[in-house]
Structures are given as C-alpha cells and as structure tokens.
Chains A and B, each alone.
Chain A
C-alpha cells in the first residue's frame, strides 16, 4: 500500500503536466486505495491484529509503530472506499487545471495525503500518530491551496492551517498529559498508564483531546474552517476532506477516549451529546441558507458530524452508566453513519464538482435545468440527496433509524437530567432530519430542475468519463451500504462490542432478514424495505400502464396564469426557497436585509434598478473568533517589542537565561 501511494506520488512528480501525469497519479492512488481496502477488510473479517514496528526511524521517541486493530481497520476501509472513486474522478477534473496550476504538485500531494490518512488509523504510538496526523494536515493544506490565484482560497487555506495547528497543539498537550506518568509513548503503555491518572487528570486529557479532535471533525464552535476550506479545494479533494478526513477526528476521539482512557464519567458523554446536537441543528440551519452549493455541502458535513458525535456521546454516556450493550449499539450506529456519510457526501461533492466543471460557477442561483443536460450527474446527485436526507430505501435512513433506537434506552435512566437531555437530543435529531430533507430538496431542485437560470447553465455539458465513473462508483457504494446493511452493521457492531469489552455478541444482531436491538426495542428489515419499495414501484407502474389511458403524452408549456412567456426570472431561487425557514428561525440567523432602489435621473417614478442584499449574522466568527484573534494580535504586537533589534539586548537575554537556568538547577538540587 505504501509502495503504491509512493509510486503514485513519484509518478506525478516525474511525469510533469499532461494526461500521463494525471493518469499515473490517479492510478497510484487507486492501487494504493485498493490495497488499503483489502488490508482493512481482511483485518475486519479475520479479526486478527497486525502489527509492524519500524524502530529505527525517529528512534528518540520510540520509533514508528503501526498496529491494525478492528477500529483502525474500519477507518482504513473508509479511507480506501472514498479514495479510489475520488482519485478516478480527479483524472478528468484536474484536466481543467492544465497549464494554470502545477499538476505534479497536485498529484504528489494527493498521494501523500491519502498515504498519511491511511496510516493514521494504524498508528500505535504517539510519535507515529502525530507524524501521520500532521502529514495529513499539511498535505491537505497544500491541496486546498491548489487554486491559488483566487484570494478566497488563500484566506480559506490560512484559516484551515491555523485551526489544524491549534488542534495539533491541543492534541500534543493531551498526549503529554496522558503519557506524563509513563516513560514510553506506545499506545499499549498509555492504556496502562491511563488507569493511574486521577479523575481530574483524565478529564483534562479528554477535554484537550476533544478540542483537538473536535476541531478536525468540525464540531461547533470549532467548525469555522469547514465552510471555507471545503468549497475552496478542488472537488475530489473536497470529497476526500469531507468524506474521510473529518471522520478521523471521530477516530481520534474514540481512540483516546475509549481505547486509551477507557471511558469516563457521565459528563464526557453529556458534553459530546450537547455539542453533537448543537452542531447538527446549527449545521443544517446554516446549510439551508447557503447559495453556494459547496458551502451548503460543507455545512451539511458539520450537521452529519454532529449526528455522529451524538451517537458517540451516547456511547460514552451509556458506558459510564454501566449499560455496555446500549453503548455498543450507539457506537455501532455512529460508525455505520460514518461509513454512510463518507459514501454519500463524497458522492455529493463529486457531483457538485461536476456541476462546477460544467457551468463554471458554484452559485445555485445561476444553475437550473441541469438534469436535462447532465444525464449521469443528475441521477447520481439524486441518489446522494435521497441518501443524505435519510430516506428509505437508501443507507442514510438505516443509520438514522439505528441512531434513534440507540438513544431511546437513555430515557429510562434514573438520573432525570440525563433523561431530559436524551429527550431533547431525540427531538433535535428529528428536527435535523426534517431540515436536512428540506435543504437537499433545495440543493437538488434548484440546481438540476426547471429551466437554466443563466447562459452557463444552458450550455452545460456532461462530465468526462472518468468523473462519471467516480460518481457512479460512489452511488453504487451507497446502494451497496443500503442493501448490505446487515453485514455492515454486524461488522460495526463487532467493532463497537470489542471496544466495550463485550465479546462478540451475535445474539444482539441476528444475521438474516431482520435485526433486533437489545432490550427488544425494535425490528426492521433493511433488505425487505429496499426490495419492497423497488418492487412496489415496478408493480404500480405496471398496473397503471395496464389500466390507465393509452393516449400518448402531450407536451405543452407550464401553466402561466395568462402570462405570455416563461423566463428564468419567474422561477424560484435558492434564496427564496429557504426564506420561510429564515423567517421562522430568525432568532438564530438574525438576518439583515438591505434594499437599494436606483431611480431614473429624470423622475422618481421610474426605477432603474433595485439591489437586494441579505445576510445572516455569523455568530461564531463575530463573537468568538474575532475577539480571540484581536487579543492574539495585541499580544503579538506587545511581544514584538522584545525584538528590539539591538545586539546588546539579545546578548543580555542570553545571559539572563543562563543565570536563571543555573538558579533553577541549584534550587532543585540537580548535579
């Protein structure tokens, strides 16, 4: 796997621009992804743990250590599942970059990014983890920066880099806190050391890890980089960022929280639930207001990460309340949603990239009618939209159903605060599901349906074969995850059970037509639903054909209420579609509207133009980030005064430092 990715990177660098380079780098990436997929599936199926140590590299901190266990294998499969179609897609997509940006750099960084991302779930000591994590972040930074002549891209990349580095600092602090007692930094040793930490110590470690991993996962309020960075990156990179990289935040949380720390007091779970529910609702609310298709998808990623965190938080909570079966169910649901989200969000980003490629703009108000001209992208995007809205018969529905079922046992808990929290979380999850459906009707409907709203949309062409192939591959993955819900669920269940110390629990998940959740709470049969709906559709169609009129379809104009002709100006726009919700949730959005009317110079009765500007209040940027950044700038300016430029001052600093060091050594009595 390493060799394949390495070859892909090298090939990209050597071959230079041109089709060969693109194909080589994509081929390298795909082979690497395939290898990763095989390795992951083998580990999951076999249950064997595979370890590899490379102690010579970075030997000062214990060398590189890799270990593939069930949890890591699941995430490895995840990475590979999205990487292969995205790389395939990239062949066609990066053709647009020929001559403008360096394709070598793109190909090399892509392979490096995929390599690092695949290695993070395998890391078994602190050094390896941080090294691969940082490599992943830096490579993705360069990838985001691909289209560097656009100013917003540079700004977005800066935000992104800043937040990843801050996250890294928190992670470093967390690991240091964890490993303070033990000399070695292997995860195996850390597990043992964690048992010796005090409760406060564990809480601090968890909180630091939460900030670090939460910023990567895009939890509120650390999500601000997501809607900037994901739209700015090339589409297949966006698919990878959204589908794969942010999931590694969840992986880290699970690894540190559950595996290393072994779970904690209820407040961990409750905090995660609160953050998760908040991210979910706020994410989808902001997604509804977006006109930029990729920003909408980015906010939707925030929403789904919130849902996943909700499940993870429930798992932590149930574990702290000594309900391991409920915890395993919640975690299995969350992991299943992780897989599903990777599949359908990857698909949606690839579709959005296809639209961008065809029309040249991300603004949904300039799209329209694309379903007629893009015969492959349309259905693929529809599949993604139905899946992400959580509707049967696709995979999003099954994981949301499972998540609901997993949260229900929480209401029976003795502590009233937790029960109330669970009730509220369930309500917010339901609200999120409804709003997400609305957001994706808007997204798909405005972009693809009706008539084109601009010339670019009217002249759109279908994407090239490689892009189409990538999208179709992910659409098939969605359908596969839906139809094959039972085996997938059995696998995630096994992973989750392993984490909670329940030996594989086959009675909890019966392996054929239906599955029964523990505590006898519910039964559902995914294959039956899929088959039933599709079969029913076919039956109804046949019946109607048999019994209805045989007259052919007649085509005519849309009913116009007496107007003469239909122009695109008469259609609903994306902004208009979400306007009722903007008014209803105005307490959250605080929208401001500005209408300027330009009159004709001759007379006030004739209007030349009307400009309408609407915006919503960016709460987090204005009230959280701006004060913090302003303060940091102020300190930076004050610290600048230390650099006076005078050589004598610097020499004085050195002397003072030396004296202080000697003083400390004397005081502590070290030789």
Chain B
C-alpha cells in the first residue's frame, strides 16, 4: 500500500511541478491560465490522495476548497481579466525561453540539494515529493522575477502559494482546516488587490508591461 501511496503522491507532485514549467515555456496568457488550472487541480487531487490514504476527513474539505477556489474560481477571474485586457502575448522576457527552462531545471536540482537533509529526516511515504514542491517555489520566484507582464507575475505568485501548500501537504500531511481557510482568505484578498493594481496599470499605460512602471519616476 505504501508503495502505491508514495508513487501516486510523487506523480501528483511531478504534475504540479511540470505545470509550473509550462509557465516558463509557453508565452500565451491563456496557456498560463490553463497551466495554473492544471496545477491547482493536480494539487487538489494530491491532497485528496493524502486524505484517502491517511483517512483524514478534513483534508477532503481542503482538497475540495482547493479545486473550487483555485481550480475554478480564480481561473475564471483571470480569464475575465484576460478578456478585458486583450489576449496579449507575453513580451520577450528578460531571459529567453530555452535559458529560463534550463535555469528552472537547475533550480529544481538546487531544491534537491537543499531539501536532502529534511527528506532524510522525514519518515513519511510522501517525502520524496518535497523537493519537487520546493523546486516549484523556486521556479515561481524565478517567474515573478523574469517575466515582464503583470498578469504572468500574478500567476507566478499564485503558483508560489500552490508550491507552499504542496510542501505542507507532503511534509506534514496538510495543515488544519482553519489555518487553510485563513490562508485561502489571505490569498483571495491578495489576488483582489492585485486585480485592482493590474487594472490601474492598464489604465495608466495601456499595457501590462511592468517595465512601464519605471516611467512613474518622472
């Protein structure tokens, strides 16, 4: 039983990480939103998996919330924003695609090196997926730093949150429902604030290019 649990959780974590890499590879905004949707659903599925194997009812609720909020709700909002601001393609990022993919891979390797002592200490069967979650955190940070479009950066931030949630699920079999609800609320508020900002940026500059923000200096 444990073998299947470990393999399936690893599978789920891999899908979550690969969805993060899709953000580095594809340039279209709708592709980014699809990647985020995939990632959230995979995260929800992994949480449900952990819930099933640990017979933890609360986690089922968490999984459901994840899928409802991040798999359906937020992508809906994102698509509305995308429609309003036009389906603009991502501008050439600071680092070109092939190089950013390679840097992403190196970040995942770094995450392995960093998480090695923790993985060795843990006894849970899901421990093998923790470095992948950490890798997602690094990759999301890299996305936020290296992409020029505000919406992509927002999606990067959301993926960062996904990564941390995955780390919690794999490392400690999730966190209590109350805490999870609080985190969700925070994320939602943050997202709404960002939505306002994106709207303002677009109003001022007619584009979502974050580089334009330095025009505010003058």
Contacts and interface: CB of A to CB of B under 8 A. Distances in A.
A587 B99 contact: yes
B98 A420 contact: no
A210 B112 CA distance: 31
B109 interface: yes
Nearest to B117: A416
A96 interface: no
Interface in B82-102: 96, 98-99
Nearest to A423: B109
Contacts of A423: 109
Question: Could you say which interface size class chain B belongs to?
Answer: under 10
B113 A584 contact: no
B116 interface: yes
Nearest to B106: A424
B96 A416 contact: no
B113 A587 contact: no
Chain B interface SS verdict (over half):
helix
Interface residues of A, number: 7
A584 B109 contact: no
A587 B96 contact: yes
Interface string A418-454: 0010011000000000000000000000000000000
A423 B109 CA distance: 10
Contacts, number: 12
Contacts of B116: 416
Interface string B191-211: 000000000000000000000
B112 A420 contact: yes
A420 B96 contact: no
A445 B109 CA distance: 39
B112 A416 contact: yes
Contacts of A424: 109
A587 B112 CA distance: 27
A322 B205 CA distance: 63
A417 interface: yes
Most chain B CB atoms below 10 A, which of A416, A420, A423, A424:
A416
Nearest to B116: A416
A664 B217 CA distance: 64
Interface string B90-134: 000000101100000000010011001000000000000000000
Contacts of B96: 587
A353 to B, nearest CB: 38
A420 to B, nearest CB: 5
A416 B108 CA distance: 13
Interface string A580-617: 00001001000000000000000000000000000000
A424 B112 CA distance: 14
A497 to B, nearest CB: 33
Contacts of B99: 587
A420 B113 CA distance: 8
A308 to B, nearest CB: 26
Contacts of B109: 420, 423-424
Interface of B: 96, 98-99, 109, 112-113, 116
Given A420-B112, A423-B109, 10 more contacts: A416-B112, A416-B113, A416-B116, A417-B113, A420-B109, A420-B113, A424-B109, A584-B98, A587-B96, A587-B99
Interface of A: 416-417, 420, 423-424, 584, 587
11 contacts: A416-B112, A416-B113, A416-B116, A420-B109, A420-B112, A420-B113, A423-B109, A424-B109, A584-B98, A587-B96, A587-B99
- 8 residue pairs, one from A and one from B, having the closest CB atoms: A416-B116, A416-B113, A420-B109, A417-B113, A416-B112, A420-B113, A587-B99, A420-B112
